[in-house]
Amino acid sequence: MHWLAGILAVLAAAQTTVYLGTPFLPVGDGTLAIARHCLIQRNESGDFEFLSANAVWRGKQLKVLLEHVRLANYNRQLINWKLDDKMYQDFVLSPVIAGDTNEQLDWRRPLREEFYLRTRHESSPEDAAKIVMKHLRERVTIATLPNPPQDVPGIWLKQITDATGFEIIYVAALRSVGVPARLDSNNHAEFWDGNKWQTAPAPSVTK
């Protein structure tokens, strides 16, 4: 019986390593396969496959991908408006905003923690967008600077950017609370109000 206990202990240790260690490894075919079979809940599988199909994840930490899947899915169950799967996956779940090859994607948790409690009682994307804009403008300074941060994590860390960077983090903040958002052809934030795309409430860039 001692040998059986030893085998079970080894298997338990291996399982713990998979669950705790794999998320910190880079995204690749191997880690995606492990996540698919060991780390993803059944109701998350569609979102996981949607995100992991994007080559932007290759080499990035698996934990970030998993975090987007889980937090966005959880938030979707809480918001007071309905989204079809395509709108949700393209403009809420996806962390890709500007489409740059070096875009930093690790932003959902800090933004959701900052904005969700402020918008949780709102009944429409438009009402939530107004609150997001107001609070984001209070937190992030818009200034004319040489080489300002324009990736979402960098902007949030330094709390300052230029007008272009503000529109990018604006989209991220909206997505973090379940409001479908994107940059329009002029790189201004816009959101889906349930029927159409409309320009997001504008911040004052002069303050």
Last residue of some domain: 43, 77, 111?
77
Q: Do 150 and 168 touch, CB atoms closer than 8 A?
A: yes
Residue 84 lies in a domain: no
Q: Do 181 and 191 touch, CB atoms closer than 8 A?
A: yes
115 plus 203 within the same structural domain:
yes
104 plus 203 within the same structural domain:
yes
Q: Do 182 and 176 touch, CB atoms closer than 8 A?
A: no
For the chain, how many structural domains are there in total?
Answer: 2
Q: Which residue, 144, 165, 145, is CA-closest to 156?
A: 165
32 plus 116 within the same structural domain:
no
- 162-186 mean pLDDT: 97
pLDDT of residue 145: 84
1 plus 73 within the same structural domain:
yes
CA–CA gap between residue 63 and residue 144 (Å, rounded) = 34
- 207 against 153, higher pLDDT: 153
CATH number of the domain encompassing residue 188: 3.10.620.30
pLDDT of residue 167: 96
207 plus 174 within the same structural domain:
yes
CA–CA gap between residue 94 and residue 72 (Å, rounded) = 9
pTM score: 0.88
Signed CA dihedral, 30, 32, 36, 41: sign only: positive
- 71-93 mean pLDDT: 96
72 plus 138 within the same structural domain:
no
Tell me which of 6-20, 87-101, 189-203 is least confident. 6-20
Domain that holds residue 160: 99-207
End-to-end Cα distance, the chain: 73
- 181-191 mean pLDDT: 96
Last residue of some domain: 46, 77, 108?
77
For residue range 7-51, what is the model confidence (pLDDT) as tens digits?
444 333 344 445 455 876 988 889 999 999 889 999 999 999 999
